[in-house]
Structure 1
């Protein structure tokens, strides 16, 4: 991957709807080489896909919480069962397995506090192998969906 590839990636991170013509112009390439580079980045898996960023508030999803999960067991079956189950909870918009005392961090969005409480009581607490859940409420997102730092400063 060279500097031109990094420029292409930086531009499409900012606007994934750029036409190849606009992108080629921004990175200083002609159309065909730019298109070839994009295809190569897609085929190599560097570009994993394209999607729209939605405003949760505009969709009525005004409540956000972080939930730390501790599992009873850490064996492969317990981990796989938990991860398979958490993938089926649509309100979990991000889930990370952690090193340390806590096993997972879940980023949750719901409409409001009562919706979160129902989700917590009826779904999160019943996930396989859960020993303990610890929640904290998100007051404000300061950095969200930031582009990856591709171009050296």
Structure 2
């Protein structure tokens, strides 16, 4: 996508409604945003085709899955070449405990968010997985006490 698509207030209402509930039927969505079903469906399709809506997903409850703790990890690599970034990044993406991972500028190379079952689960993740990734030089971890806000996109 080379340019930013034009988004009007009706598109914004559609996006806000889908952000709250991505499972809305087209009929309910059209009703909520004040359109008939065909124009609503056409707008949603255009938002998808233009890459404004990337995907639809289910948000899972970590605690219900037995992984109630979130840990934020800052990682520094031992060197900064394309090969190590590629290997480390791919290995990181393959770990199921990793919820989010970002390549950064600044003091650390990566910021990683993981879901674990307590300190024992975190120690196992560190020893058996993270510390075995290629190129890791240093990590610093912080346990999350409470999530104050969780959003998967900005409010349009």
TM-score, structure 2 normalization? 0.92
Aligned to 1:64, what secondary structure does the other structure show? strand
Deviation digits for residues 16-56 of structure 1 (CA, Å, limit 9, x no counterpart) = 11111111111111110000011111112211111111211
Asked whether 1:92 is paired with 2:98, we answer: yes
Runs of 4 or more consecutive aligned structure 1 residues displaced over 3 Å after TM superposition: none
Return the alpha-carbon distance in structure 1 between the equivalents of residues 130 and 152 of structure 2: 28
Unaligned runs of 5+ in 1: none
Return the alpha-carbon distance in structure 2 between the equivalents of residues 16 and 64 of structure 1: 25
Return the alpha-carbon distance in structure 1 between the equivalents of residues 65 and 84 of structure 2: 34
Asked whether 1:132 is paired with 2:138, we answer: yes
Return the alpha-carbon distance in structure 2 between the equivalents of residues 132 and 69 of structure 1: 6
Q: Which residue of 1 aligns with 2:72?
A: 66
Unaligned runs of 5+ in 2: 1-6
User: Which structure carries more relative contact order (alpha carbon 8 Å, separation 6+)?
Assistant: 1
TM-score, structure 1 normalization? 0.93
Q: Which residue of 1 aligns with 2:88?
A: 82
Work out which of the residue numbers 2, 8, 24 in structure 1 matches 2:8.
2
